[in-house]
Amino acid sequence: MGWSREFIEKVREATDLTDVAGDYGDTKNAGPGKVKMNCPLPNHSEKTPSHYVQKEFFNCFGCSEGGDCYKFIQTVENCDFNESVKRLAGRAGITPGPDDWVGGSDAEDKRKDLFVAVEMASAIYKARLPDIENKEAQQARNFLRDRAPQRAREQALGEMCEQNGIGYSYPRARGLSNALTKELTTKLTEYFKKTGIKETEIPKKIENTLKRAGLASEYEGNLTDFFFSERIMFTIFDSSDRPIAFSGRQLPGGRDPKYRNSPETEIYKKNEILYGLNWAKKHVAKEDRIIICEGQLDVIAFRESSLPVAVAPCGTSITENQVKKLARYTNNFILCFDSDNAGQKAANRFIQWEEKYNLQIKVALLPDGADPGDYLAQNTLDELVATVEEATPFLRWRINRILEEEKTETIEERVNAANRSLQIVRDHPEEMYWDDYVRYIGECLGHEYSELRKKFDKMDKTPERKTYQPTQPDTNSGTPQVLVKQKKPKPADKETKQSTTLALNVLSLVLHNRQTLEQGELLPNKLEAMFFPTSPLSKVFEALLASQNLNEAENLIKDAEEEERIFLKLRESKPDNLINVESASKKIGELLTSRVKNELNQLHNDAKESNNLEPIRKLGEVHNAQNVMQNDGYNIFSPEADFLIEWLRERLEK
Ligand SMILES: [Zn+2]
């Protein structure tokens, strides 16, 4: 079933294909009512235009594809016929009436409820951001105001959030945990009543819709939306501007991870969707370049700038699928990442696609630790755009990385640096660049050009370019290395790592030694979710507690990346033969102490930052109790432990 014949013809009538084609590339006049362009179809790329378009038809002499407006949309957007009609209707501003869709059991129709539900959720999140009675929402507004483009900082924060689909999710505590589910249930009840579904069937239908849309899941027998708590909510749109999912960014001092995304659903495929593509694609044809960044705020910053062509993957590293999709719009990619290790790694991933998709890549790295959103706290949009305009060509950027990384004091070191950098030039597909870069390397290292060129000419291309493999640098033979050396972990990372290891140990106890814990009265009284250092770890603990085994626990938490990683580690964990009540109790005491320590550090940092020392003046007792615990073998049954538990509870409820 699908659109009625009348509707299809009405949309066709209202569509001018020469205009539509302009969305996918530059068009040139080719006679009356006719334009030509470089073929925009995914399987054909060309440098001189042989793709001709008229009001109703297109015809490509290069790949001999041709057809009407619907065929065109189906091919360039990789969608089915019904979807192509829908998109062109939307483009022409035609809203379908109830009689325009014939039959109702089509897959697209089934997905419709999901789009409706996500759109409702987006509206609810948006409405929560301006809630002046909620002090956390105020924090979210301040955060946005600090990082938002000038326009929003000065006055129109609300307007900017409305236009970009930004909202706020209430904290899970304080009885608000099911606020979203409740509001959505009310709205969906009204919606389903109008569609003529029997009233008795509506509750089941709502439950089904919320689960399928990734908006709620079943937890201990109830439908709950515990997924997002106290986060700035970015609505993720598909390329037809429909809301399909959310990405929640933590507030300063909030629980990790920094970004948390909706679970994958029928309408939200994480490895295909790019945040911001719905906005960027309208400008890419004109700009003939696209900016790839890391986060939602980055995309929005560019959207407000004079270069509104930025996109970002949502919650995953960029995938080949996404690169392929972007390469259909333009071959000119600008990577705009944080210049830390993660950002450099992300940039290096593109090596594998450079040749395959004929990409011209440039890298615009922002100062260490700053993503474009943070960058805007100190700079203007024009300065951000200027950074992108001065982006370094990918090959030069990679050579610079190697020269920075390698020591170049002794002759041997310089030879090694030369070998590594020459090799990546040799591996580059575009021969035209080779000589200039050999010269460049010579200049940087003080080597004679003719010597380097001789060496270069004897080099072979690296067999099977495994450029993203984290192999050990082999400094003696000068094997090409593209990967950036790992920096030493900062003390903070080390601390987090320690408390995570500890937490995993305790989770493994809950999994393998439940009986011991219960007999020793450690469970359920002496171990609580709040002892765990991150929210995913707490959640896994709660899920384990509510289940009989690992599979059951895993089913309670679906499609949350961090949690999945934890479950994976738990699967690998082995029961400890030597465990007894005493050693288990010690581990739990240690976990509590470490959690308190982190909280204290946080308080001290906050106090330092805000120059308000008041909150840390009364912490003497907490420090004492923590020291006693530490010196006393982490006794979880001690009065100090009770005191710390109470303190932590109060602190977290604040
Ligand atoms: Zn073609």
pLDDT digits (tens, 9 = 90+) for 529-547: 889 988 889 989 988 888 7
Give 41 Cα–ligand 1 centroid separation in angstroms.
6
Which residues fall within 8 angstroms of residue 634, CB to CB, at 6 or more apart?
A: 585, 586, 587, 588, 589, 590, 592, 593
Q: What is the mean pLDDT of residues 564-586?
A: 82
Give 26 Cα–ligand 1 centroid separation in angstroms.
14
Nearest CA-CA partner of 570 in 541, 530, 607, 602: 541
Q: What is the pLDDT of residues 631-649, one digit of tens each?
A: 878 888 888 888 888 888 8
Residue 480, pLDDT score = 33
Residue 377, pLDDT score = 66
- Confidence check: pLDDT of 586 > 50: yes
Give 30 Cα–ligand 1 centroid separation in angstroms.
16
- Confidence check: pLDDT of 465 > 50: no
Q: What is the mean pLDDT of residues 472-477?
A: 35
Give 42 Cα–ligand 1 centroid separation in angstroms.
9
Residue 472, pLDDT score = 35
Of the two residues 278 and 64, the one the predictor is more confident about is: 278
Residue type at position 442: G
Give 66 Cα–ligand 1 centroid separation in angstroms.
9
Give 331 Cα–ligand 1 centroid separation in angstroms.
17
Give 333 Cα–ligand 1 centroid separation in angstroms.
22
Give 600 Cα–ligand 1 centroid separation in angstroms.
63
- Confidence check: pLDDT of 439 > 60: yes
- Confidence check: pLDDT of 473 > 50: no
Q: Around 239, how many Cα atoms within 13 Å sit in the side-chain half-sphere? A: 22
Please provide residue 130's backbone torsions phi and psi, each rounded to the nearest 5 degrees: -80, 10
In angstroms, rounded to a whole number, what is the distance separating the alpha carbons of residues 132 and 139? 11
Give 70 Cα–ligand 1 centroid separation in angstroms.
16
Give 54 Cα–ligand 1 centroid separation in angstroms.
15
Give 76 Cα–ligand 1 centroid separation in angstroms.
11
- Confidence check: pLDDT of 491 > 50: no
CATH code reported for the domain at 2-102: 3.90.580.10
In angstroms, rounded to a whole number, what is the distance separating the alpha carbons of residues 213 and 216? 8
Q: What is the mean pLDDT of residues 209-227?
A: 80
Residue 42, pLDDT score = 84
Q: Is 274-390 the same fold as 107-261?
A: no
Residue 523, pLDDT score = 80
Give 239 Cα–ligand 1 centroid separation in angstroms.
23
Domain 274-390 has CATH 3.40.190.10: no
Residue 246, pLDDT score = 95
- Confidence check: pLDDT of 603 > 70: yes
In angstroms, rounded to a whole number, what is the distance separating the alpha carbons of residues 605 and 609? 6
Give 203 Cα–ligand 1 centroid separation in angstroms.
50
Give 82 Cα–ligand 1 centroid separation in angstroms.
23
Residue 153, pLDDT score = 59
Residue 498, pLDDT score = 80
Give 49 Cα–ligand 1 centroid separation in angstroms.
9
Give 57 Cα–ligand 1 centroid separation in angstroms.
14
Give 51 Cα–ligand 1 centroid separation in angstroms.
6
In angstroms, rounded to a whole number, what is the distance separating the alpha carbons of residues 116 and 242? 9
Range with lowest mean pLDDT among 100-109, 350-359, 502-511? 100-109
Q: What is the mean pLDDT of residues 616-624?
A: 79
Which residues fall within 8 angstroms of residue 598, CB to CB, at 6 or more apart?
A: 495, 499, 533
Nearest CA-CA partner of 500 in 474, 456, 538, 449: 538
Give 12 Cα–ligand 1 centroid separation in angstroms.
22
User: How many degrees, rounded to 5, is the angle at CA 57 between CA 53 and CA 63?
Assistant: 65
Of the two residues 164 and 176, the one the predictor is more confident about is: 164
Band (pLDDT 50/70/90 cuts) for residue 308 is very high
Q: What is the mean pLDDT of residues 264-293?
A: 87
Ramachandran bin of 174, using left for φ above 0, alpha for ψ from -120 to 50, beta for the remaining angles? left
Give 449 Cα–ligand 1 centroid separation in angstroms.
44
Give 78 Cα–ligand 1 centroid separation in angstroms.
15
Q: What is the pLDDT of residues 34-48, one digit of tens each?
A: 899 999 998 888 888
Give 94 Cα–ligand 1 centroid separation in angstroms.
29
Q: What is the pLDDT of residues 411-424, one digit of tens each?
A: 888 888 899 899 98
Band (pLDDT 50/70/90 cuts) for residue 196 is confident
Give 84 Cα–ligand 1 centroid separation in angstroms.
19
Q: What is the mean pLDDT of residues 610-622?
A: 76
Of the two residues 130 and 89, the one the predictor is more confident about is: 89
Give 328 Cα–ligand 1 centroid separation in angstroms.
12
Q: Which residue has the tokens 């289940």?
A: 547
Q: Are strands 166-169 and 231-237 parallel, antiparallel or unpaired?
A: antiparallel
Band (pLDDT 50/70/90 cuts) for residue 493 is low
- Confidence check: pLDDT of 292 > 70: yes
Give 278 Cα–ligand 1 centroid separation in angstroms.
24
- Confidence check: pLDDT of 468 > 60: no
Give 255 Cα–ligand 1 centroid separation in angstroms.
50
Six token digits for residue 192: 């389903």
Give 398 Cα–ligand 1 centroid separation in angstroms.
34
Give 48 Cα–ligand 1 centroid separation in angstroms.
11
Residue 476, pLDDT score = 35
> Domain-by-domain residue ranges, the chain?
2-102, 107-261, 274-390, 491-653
Give 120 Cα–ligand 1 centroid separation in angstroms.
41
Give 17 Cα–ligand 1 centroid separation in angstroms.
16
| Three-class DSSP labels, 43-78 | CCCCCCCCEEEECCEEEECCCCCEEEHHHHHHHHHC
Of the two residues 236 and 99, the one the predictor is more confident about is: 236
Give 429 Cα–ligand 1 centroid separation in angstroms.
24
- Confidence check: pLDDT of 470 > 60: no
The string of DSSP codes covering 212-235 is HTTS-EEETTEEE-TT--SEEEEE
- Confidence check: pLDDT of 477 > 50: no
Give 50 Cα–ligand 1 centroid separation in angstroms.
7
Residue 335, pLDDT score = 94
Give 244 Cα–ligand 1 centroid separation in angstroms.
32
- Confidence check: pLDDT of 488 > 60: no
Of the two residues 471 and 266, the one the predictor is more confident about is: 266
- Confidence check: pLDDT of 514 > 70: yes
Q: Which CATH architecture has domain 491-653?
A: Orthogonal Bundle (1.10)
Of the two residues 654 and 394, the one the predictor is more confident about is: 394
Of the two residues 636 and 376, the one the predictor is more confident about is: 636
Band (pLDDT 50/70/90 cuts) for residue 487 is very low
Give 2 Cα–ligand 1 centroid separation in angstroms.
29
Return mean pLDDT, the chain: 82
Give 52 Cα–ligand 1 centroid separation in angstroms.
9
Domain 107-261 has CATH 3.90.980.10: yes
Give 62 Cα–ligand 1 centroid separation in angstroms.
5
Sheet with 57-60: strands ordered across: 28-29, 34-37, 51-54, 57-60, 66-68
Residue 572, pLDDT score = 81
